[in-house]
Amino acid sequence: MVQKKATEIFSQWASSGKDIGMEANHSPAVDVMLDHLIGSQTSPFSIIDAGCGNGWVIRKISDHSLCERAIGVDGAQEMIEKARSFDGDGQYFHSDLLDWVPNEKVDYVHSMEVLYYFKQPDQLILHIIDNWMNRNGTMIMGMDYYEENLKSHSWPVDLNTYMAMLSIDGWITLFNDCGLSKVTAFQTNANNDFPGTLVIKGKKK
């Protein structure tokens, strides 16, 4: 069977309301990621959520008193329509991440459960570093699909879409090879059944 595009699948998820369950599932890990990123923030900042889905992370971050600009980008039309319907004042863009460039670069790029949908994730990381991020900006990405999470291995077949499978070390190497500095990785929200969301962070030199 011909594989579907991830953006097509997630547009359908938005239409059928599955985006809300996804928000609930991802929220505990995203809270940890945001705490790492902006938990001790003392100066104004700007941020992009790459593959923002229905925009729930952008709405959460926008409440931060020091947030000057928060932008969501997603390639699923229905996700972006939903984001705009929830938050008419928010900045949400419908685009493939590889094609999109912000008007102004930002301090932070956040992304949850998106990077592995790309056949060449390094291409996306390099595009973000070159075209989205300020010097010394930080990128943080969360993923539940990785080699050490054995239960995730069936997802490409379950969803009938492409997913790039890398180990924790593989992702760390990829971030380093893309030229990011201070690359760190950790797993959060693990339980008996789940080794945790893999979170990788790196800084633009």
Ligand X SMILES: C[S@@+](CC[C@H](N)C(=O)[O-])C[C@H]1O[C@@H](n2cnc3c(N)ncnc32)[C@H](O)[C@@H]1O
Question: Which range of residues in 21-29, 148-156, 168-176, 194-202 is near ligand X by CB under 6 A?
Answer: 21-29
Q: Which residues contact 130 (CB under 8 A, 6 or more apart)?
A: none
136: left (phi over 0), alpha (psi -120 to 50) or beta: left
Question: Which range of residues in 37-45, 60-68, 69-77, 166-174 is near ligand X by CB under 6 A?
Answer: 69-77
Q: Which residues contact 25 (CB under 8 A, 6 or more apart)?
A: none
Indicate whether 143 belongs to the interface with ligand X (CB under 6 A): no
For ligand X, give the closer residue by CB, 10 or 175.
Answer: 10
| Tokens encoding 185 | 């990785």
137: left (phi over 0), alpha (psi -120 to 50) or beta: beta
Indicate whether 128 belongs to the interface with ligand X (CB under 6 A): no
Indicate whether 35 belongs to the interface with ligand X (CB under 6 A): no
Closest distance of CB 95 from ligand X, Å = 7
Which residues bind to ligand X, rule: CB under 6 A? Answer: 6-7, 10, 22-23, 26, 51-53, 74-76, 79, 96-97, 112-114, 117
